[in-house]
Structure 1
Amino acid sequence: MSERIEDIIEFRKKKLAKLKELGIDPYPSKTNRTHSNAQALEKFDHLAQSKATITLVGRIRSWRTQGKIIFANIEDSTAKIQVFFKADNLAGKFEILENFDIGDFIEITGILFTTKTGEKTIEAHDFRILAKSLRPLPSEYYGLADVETRLRKRYLDLMMNPEVREMFIKKSRFWSSIQQFLVQRGFLHVELPVLEPVPGGAEAEPFITHHNALDRDLYLRISLELPLKKLIVGGYEKVFEIGRIFRNEGISTEHLQDYTQMEFYWAYAGFDDMMKLVREMYQHAIKETFGTLKLPYQGQMIDWGGEWPKQDYFKLFEKYTDLDLNAATEDQLKKYADQNHISYEEFAGRGRIIDLIFKKKIRVLPEVGMQPSFLVNQPVEIEPLAKKDPLNPKIVQRMQILACCSELGKGFGELNDPLDQRERFDFQMSLRAKGDTEAQMLDEDYLEAMEYGMPPLAGFGMSERLFAVLMDKSVRETVIFPLMKD
């Protein structure tokens, strides 16, 4: 297009002024809509045969003038429909249409009919501007192919790409199905504070803010875990939250700093009970959202149905690294990491190095991580909040859901021994003293709650990374307004 965008905006402003001169409000506060576009199309035969007068609304998507006739397409959130304007039907108002542009929102009152070419159409007997647009739509001017532009100006992405709009409808359906599943099984949905005096429940660096009225620093929560477990101490047996958490860490295709997480805690439930519930919950949400349990991911077909196998952490580690975790020293683990170009922090302890090796060398293998499975029997060093296995104190009751070579959920037989918990917090604080900003802080209030008695319980957490994988996209693409670099 040879015109500069500034010239187009100026020309549209003149049209806006002309509408005002004619006594037309270009931004009215309400409409007289009787049907959505989809409803008009669904009931088309009846409405057309009865010549019922209806009122539709939408954004102008196309505009073709042929003398005293204009064909246009308007689109609301449900569908597109063709509009037929004819001067003879509009009692002197036809000339006003010269002030309309693609991108404007309009209201059409008229009757439905089918054109000679078979197009379902509304014949306009009256019309009204609902919102005058001053900028041209992207496809009309410069297109919208650049990913950065699409994410930075998501409203344009939604406007121009119906498949993106559909993705976020699916995302809403996904989280609703998770909530519905848990509520139907007796879980209480709660809302917990986002600002915390002590962040906990995960190894992550928190965001810090200041509360002016209290004159104290607070943290944006990095997990939902500790407050939910306090509710278990208080007497609830099944609790969960779906909410935002915040972690001040790196950006990747799998990680964001501000994202949605779901965690549930279930008193008196065993580890296997929790795994069964989680598998059923995933299968329910996937079927409700996508209508199938088989979905493509990077050229592979992932089958979420049926039973999911268990994979032993220690056995996988030894099979793919030749290191026996029962005997391997920290120096041996660091040597392996160095030889395989796996970077780690200077203060990294044995648990952190084990975790990095597994993520970088084992989980990424298709034969290990592509199809859904439960990763079980994990070393105690990598999980400070999980309960030790009663038969083997070197492992904890923790499972991870592996699929698409990613971790897509994590569950525990939760630690409820306050003395054991204090020892693990003390170890985490020793790591913080060495410079590990992601190690967990000592939370005395949580320990005090545990000292009143916490029943045996299972817990599970998952994030919106799962939805991104199900869509076969990066997590940033599936966040409606991702934070972008300047």
Structure 2
Amino acid sequence: MSESTTPQTTFAPAPGYRTDSVAVEVKQAEDGTQARLAGRVVLWRKLGGLVFGHILDRSGRVQISLRRDDLGTEQFNDWSRSVKVGDFVGVSGRKYITNKGEPTLAVTDLTVLNQARRQLPDKWAGITHAEVRYRRRYLDLISDSVSRDRFRTRSRAISAIRRYLDGLDFMEVETPILQEAASGAAARPFITHHNTLDQELYLRIAPETFLKRVVGGGLERVYEMGKLFRNEGSDPSHLQEFTSLEWYAGYWDYRDNMRVVRDLILHVMEETLGTTVVTYQGTELDFGADWPEIDYREAVHARTGIDLTEVRDLPALRDRVKIAYPDSDIAEAPSYAAMVDLLYKRTVRPGLIQPCFLLHHPVELAPLARRSDDDPTRLDMFQVVVHSWEIAKAYSELVDPVDQRERLMEQMAMRDAGDDETMMLEEDFLEAMEYGMPPMSGLGLGIDRLIALLTDAPNLRDVVLFPAMRRDLG
């Protein structure tokens, strides 16, 4: 560069900085374009009378340069010494291409907006310890473009979900997070105390019973996306605090939801990734192919030799499990429903890799689901399973208050017998059902699991900005 310039500088934090460009726009601009942008310095390399740096902003990173021949010795020395990696700067200059073909902004004006007091992670090594990445996510985002892209994908996917449901005339609503009963799913709740009301409340394990109340009130298609809380163990596919989508539609049944959830997932993939085929941990997953329908009890029978249509009580099932799996803890499950669920999860689910529908669960497994007219011992229900992860569950909803009360009473009996993952009885919910509810079907979809599959994240913590961690004792 040979153009003569009169540089200006500010060496104090500024209250604000107006920009007219972001990094990606500078890189795409024509040579000679004047630009003004701001961001964090993530590289700062001095080569005699030349400095090359990289600025990171919300769109990505772009190279900048300072030349002593253009700025003069005093100005060049001041700027090159005052800036370090981690600082925030605002710069103005002219875009050009280096001899190596790198789009670069030749700086003519530089403002130090704020200085970093701690050293950033090494730009090449990044953060290699998983716990540090999760606990100090801001450092992970600074140093790892893959992590930044995952959260951009998450945001785009959530927006695509909302647009899709809005297009089907659904309305987004909000229901309580603090609830008087832990209901809507089989899970152990978190308990808290409400000082003003002087009563124990539960962090919601599901919004189901409240969303059904809304449908009963005449808002026939509703959805909610938000946090759920289940006080259970965590592993790469389970978090105690997670994001879920639930929707309910009057006059739909579970077959309607089978069609809609598949279409929704394919829509989200096309919108965010431009493809319906992804590779997850080395395995190609083709969401665009047909999703086979797998009968729950038939799959368990084929894998274990235990026929759940005949083995219908806890003592009989325990005896069969002890014979088939003498070294397993499956037989220690506290209830028939818990043992059936554990048996399926240990034997069938690991083999379900490509997207599929798992259908017609035993009636004991979902007390809020409608019995099948063809066989009242099974449910009009399905789950979407991918790579052995259950990412969605749906059923035709039970709207008969008499049957509902009986099944919730069975849940309470199992709770009294030691199964603390059963549902509680909600009198207000049963009262709402007695006023009448339309036939309906609801669906729950795990947002974190879906995003993990779409972004090849091995652990749900990789797609949650600030996952709960054990207290840092260091």
Structure-2 residue corresponding to 1:66:
47
Q: CA deviation at 1:109?
A: 1.4
Letter aligned with residue 35 of structure 1: S
Structure-2 residue corresponding to 1:33:
19
Q: Map Cα deviations across residues 63-110 of structure 1 (whole Å, 9 max, x no partner).
A: 222344322222222232222213354464333221221111111112
Q: CA deviation at 1:345?
A: 7.9
Q: Map Cα deviations across residues 389-416 of structure 1 (whole Å, 9 max, x no partner).
A: 1121111111111221221110101000
Structure-1 residue corresponding to 2:288:
305
SS of match in other structure, 1:448: helix
Q: CA deviation at 1:346?
A: 5.3
Which residue of 449, 458, 465 corresponds with 1:465? 449
Structure-2 residue corresponding to 1:444:
427
Structure-2 residue corresponding to 1:18:
none
Q: Equivalents in 1 of 2:427, 2:360: separation in Å?
A: 29
SS of match in other structure, 2:406: helix
Cα distance, 1:306–1:448 mapped onto 2, change above 3 Å = same
1:206-245 correspondence runs (5 A): 206-245=189-228
1:485 matches 2:466? no
Q: Equivalents in 2 of 1:118, 1:400: separation in Å?
A: 51
Q: CA deviation at 1:24?
A: 5.5
Which residue of 46, 53, 57 corresponds with 1:76? 57
Q: Map Cα deviations across residues 255-299 of structure 1 (whole Å, 9 max, x no partner).
A: 101110001111111221121111111111122222111111233
Structure-2 residue corresponding to 1:17:
none
Q: Equivalents in 1 of 2:288, 2:206: separation in Å?
A: 29
Q: CA deviation at 1:36?
A: 0.7
1:50-449 correspondence runs (5 A): 52-90=33-71, 92-97=74-79, 98-139=81-122, 143-328=126-311, 329-338=313-322, 339-340=324-325, 341-344=327-330, 348-365=334-351, 369-449=352-432
Letter aligned with residue 362 of structure 1: V
Q: Map Cα deviations across residues 390-446 of structure 1 (whole Å, 9 max, x no partner).
A: 121111111111221221110101000001000011111111112222111110000
Cα distance, 1:86–1:200 mapped onto 2, change above 3 Å = same
Q: Equivalents in 1 of 2:285, 2:101: separation in Å?
A: 41
Cα distance, 1:254–1:116 mapped onto 2, change above 3 Å = closer
Structure-1 residue corresponding to 2:4:
none
Structure-1 residue corresponding to 2:459:
474
SS of match in other structure, 1:166: helix
SS of match in other structure, 1:334: helix
Letter aligned with residue 65 of structure 2: F
SS of match in other structure, 2:377: strand
Q: Equivalents in 1 of 2:392, 2:333: separation in Å?
A: 27
Q: Equivalents in 2 of 1:433, 1:195: separation in Å?
A: 23
Q: Equivalents in 2 of 1:42, 1:140: separation in Å?
A: 24
Letter aligned with residue 200 of structure 2: D
Letter aligned with residue 53 of structure 1: Q
What are structure 2's unaligned runs of at least 5 residues?
1-8
2:361–2:381: 8 Å Cα contact kept in structure 1? yes
Q: Equivalents in 2 of 1:351, 1:246: separation in Å?
A: 21
Q: Equivalents in 2 of 1:66, 1:440: separation in Å?
A: 67
Q: Map Cα deviations across residues 185-236 of structure 1 (whole Å, 9 max, x no partner).
A: 1111111121111221011111111222222221111001011000011011
**TM-score using structure 2 length:** 0.92
Cα distance, 1:326–1:84 mapped onto 2, change above 3 Å = closer
Q: CA RMSD in A?
A: 1.9
Cα distance, 1:406–1:54 mapped onto 2, change above 3 Å = closer
SS of match in other structure, 2:21: coil
Runs ≥4 residues deviating over 6 A: none
Q: Map Cα deviations across residues 29-68 of structure 1 (whole Å, 9 max, x no partner).
A: 21131111111121233xx1xxx43212222222222344
Q: Equivalents in 2 of 1:455, 1:219: separation in Å?
A: 28
Q: Equivalents in 1 of 2:214, 2:339: separation in Å?
A: 34
What are structure 1's unaligned runs of at least 5 residues?
1-22
SS of match in other structure, 2:12: coil
SS of match in other structure, 2:394: strand
Cα distance, 1:72–1:271 mapped onto 2, change above 3 Å = closer
Q: Equivalents in 1 of 2:35, 2:167: separation in Å?
A: 41
Cα distance, 1:233–1:70 mapped onto 2, change above 3 Å = same
Q: Equivalents in 2 of 1:211, 1:25: separation in Å?
A: 51
1:202–1:222: 8 Å Cα contact kept in structure 2? yes
Q: Equivalents in 2 of 1:345, 1:435: separation in Å?
A: 14
Letter aligned with residue 341 of structure 2: D
Q: Equivalents in 1 of 2:124, 2:258: separation in Å?
A: 52
1:37–1:56: 8 Å Cα contact kept in structure 2? yes
Q: Equivalents in 2 of 1:347, 1:408: separation in Å?
A: 24
Q: Equivalents in 1 of 2:425, 2:201: separation in Å?
A: 15
Moved more, 163-172 or 401-410: 401-410
2:383–2:393: 8 Å Cα contact kept in structure 1? yes
Q: Equivalents in 2 of 1:190, 1:393: separation in Å?
A: 33
SS of match in other structure, 2:410: helix
1:84–1:123: 8 Å Cα contact kept in structure 2? yes
